[in-house]
Amino acid sequence: MLSRDQLQRAAADSGFQVESYEKVHVLVRLLEAVRTHPFLGPRMALKGGTALNLFVLDFPRLSVDIDLNYVGSSDRATMLAERPRIEQALQQVTGRMGLTIKRAPTKHAGGKWRLSYATALGRQGSIEVDVNFMLRTPLWPVAPRDSHPVGGDRATQVLVLDEHELAAGKLAALVARSASRDVFDARELLRRPGLDPAKLRLGFVVYGGVNREDWRAITVDQIQTTAGDVDSQLVPMLRLDVRPAKPEIAAWTETLVRETASSWPRYSRSRRASWNSSSGSTAPGTLCLRSPPTSPRCRRSSATIRVSSGRRST
């Protein structure tokens, strides 16, 4: 762990607030411990805001939780057999780091582990680790990535979902909850060169369905947030050079929403799949038509299967 002086110096050099920066330092060390564990490493794939900001983008904001998918096997029986070992290994890894488990998941689909630790500032801190056992087969292959350094540490060769799948999950989250962090992440993602619009549209359709959203009804008007949410939830997590000053937050929020919305149509347009309106389902083959190079994997994807059968995440 970092000393108080080391933490304050590292946070100042990086342009982040101290307490949240320390959370991400703990998070990075935990990800490295998971990656180097012989059983956990090849079976856990990172997704969500931490994957985006720490492994894909240029670290513009802090994300203080870990979202993992079990990708050890698409077979349900294998997953059920391995799950106790996964949970036992997580307990061992967190224990060796001096983290205290305050809450462990009990749901079949997985859930959140709440972990606490003593901070360098003499307080109690906490992070959450969410492990999902339902989305076992990604749309596209996972790949190892290295994180940005945090406090002199970094997580290396961590399995991370494909950039298009990360983006699709973030866009689906954006329309589901309209959190300012999702609007910010979406804007940063849609600015990136090299994204394949067809892949992103496919992922958005699939993840919109998983997140209980009717993708056919989604419009650009759903991209919304408030200056109050930006001020309280987003600004404290932003790097200094991208953080708006207090008097500028309202105008900055309007610009954020406008820029995100302007990029939305070219990624959200998609061929209408053959959808059963009574059951909310569609055939996997129809859903995957837009991405021929990955159609076989798309049809096997856990998210596609759940949407095709009309089921949602639990």
Identify which of 45, 210, 54 has the alpha carbon closest to the alpha carbon of residue 141: 45
pLDDT of residue 204: 80
Question: Would strands 65-70 and 100-103 be described as parallel, antiparallel, or unpaired?
Answer: unpaired
**pTM for the full predicted model:** 0.86
What kind of fold does domain 1-161 have according to CATH?
Nuclear Transport Factor 2; Chain: A, (3.10.450)
Q: Which residues pair with 117 in a beta bridge?
A: 125
User: Could you give phi then psi for residue 225, rounded to 5 degrees?
Assistant: -160, 175
Block means of pLDDT (10 residues each) for the chain, length 314 residues? 94 97 98 98 97 97 97 96 96 96 74 93 95 92 98 98 92 83 92 86 77 62 88 97 96 92 64 42 51 55 53 46
What six digits make up the tokens of 287? 């859903």
AA letter at 301: S
pLDDT of residue 271: 41
pLDDT of residue 111: 78
Could you state, in order of their start, the residue ranges of all structural domains in the chain? 1-161, 176-314
Whether the CA torsion 132, 135, 137, 141 is positive or negative: it is negative
C-alpha separations of 13 from 10, 16, 63, 77 in Å: 5, 8, 18, 48
